[in-house]
Amino acid sequence: MKTKILLLSVGSLLGKVMLDVLAARRDKLWLIGANSHAETPQLFHCHQAHLLPPSHHSDYEQAFERLLAQCTPDIIFPGRDDDVIFLAQFRADHPEWAHTIPCGQVDIARIIHDKYTCYQWALTQGLPFAHSFLYTPDSLKTLDSFLEQVSFPLLAKPRQGFGSQDILFIEDRAHLERLGNTQELLLQEYLEPSETLTPYFEQYRQGMPLFFQIPETRQFSAQGLIHPDGDLGPVCCAQSTLVMGKTTRFEPIENPALSQLFMDYATALSAAGWRGVVNLQAKPHPHTGVWKAFELNLRMSGGTACRLMLGFDEMGHLMRAFYPEIAFPHVTRAQADIAIPVPQVQGFTREHVKDLQTQGSYYP
């Protein structure tokens, strides 16, 4: 009998990445894709596809329970950060489904999901994290104290952003004031030399380009796993290049400082009750050289397929740790030294989309 895997938010970038990672093992699996939008090709690359309402809708949980009763999956994977929170809470509320969700306590998941509470948690654990400040209408009195401790430019992020979306560079105090204070934003120190941004700021002042972005060539990450018993699994450190928030080059690196930072964070997360996947992004401080985290995620990432190509099978590690009884092929041999994600053209028919929208489910 095939193992049934339910992929939530399969239309996301992570959803596509997980399908890529599972592609060579499909003969032993039954893939169930769920998404809130019908017009996404990933749905039709699953063995069966289902529409769910957006996760913030009040009827989402009821629709999810109906889907479980219909499909009875063996394992459920999140495709977005919101899915991590939902699944952790659902696991706590429905112990009969707990074995299908390889994750930990919802309380720590909520802390990590919010970028400001994540920063505060890291400080309480004595873990280095990019200096951060919650910018709100009520915080202006303490803003100056924060600005005395950091240098411009700064990053301004949504508290619960996803996929590097809606992140702004703040060039100076005047720029910050023009941004206004009508919404909560996380101000975070930028862990790169400020001169790296100078040519981009100058270009933007001359006029807004039709296409504009600042390439990220020093994106450092560490990916690992906390086993069901709380022990830590293997770790993969990498440096990647991002263009428009998407990985365009991915290379494994040996970096003891980054590895140790990950182990310190994973140990603290384990003590707080988290189990499952951990993704950490960090940089060395441009002046002190001290490695600081600036982002934590409790899920697989856009680099998951790249890591598989390089011989680090995080999906295989998770399956062996949480589901040792399942015969899941494990990749151990590196197929390359550097991974380059290549766009792949995918499609679907209007008839298939109509069937999915009408019936809520589709079986290719």
Confidence class of residue 46 from pLDDT cuts 50, 70 and 90?
Answer: very high
Predicted pLDDT of residue 343? 85
> What are residue 240's phi and psi, to 5 degrees?
-135, 165
Distance CA 108, CA 106 (A): 6
Per-residue pLDDT at 329 exceeds 90: no
Predicted pLDDT of residue 243? 86
Per-residue pLDDT at 163 exceeds 70: no
Predicted pLDDT of residue 165? 67
Predicted pLDDT of residue 161? 65
Distance CA 298, CA 82 (A): 11
Could you tell me which residues are beta bridge partners of residue 223? 236, 279
Per-residue pLDDT at 97 exceeds 60: yes
How many helices (DSSP H) and strands (DSSP E) are in the chain?
Answer: 12, 14
Tell me the three state secondary structure of residue 343.
coil
Distance CA 137, CA 263 (A): 37
Per-residue pLDDT at 23 exceeds 70: yes
The tens digit of pLDDT for each residue in 185-223 reads 899 999 998 888 888 788 878 887 777 777 788 999 999
What does the block give as tokens for 359? 């019936």
Per-residue pLDDT at 112 exceeds 70: yes
For residue 258, give the amino acid letter.
L
Whats the size of the chain, residue-wise?
364
364 preceded by a cis bond (ω within 30 of 0): no
DSSP state of 2: P
DSSP state of 11: T
For residue 362, give the amino acid letter.
Y
**Percent of the chain whose predicted confidence (pLDDT) is above 90:** 75
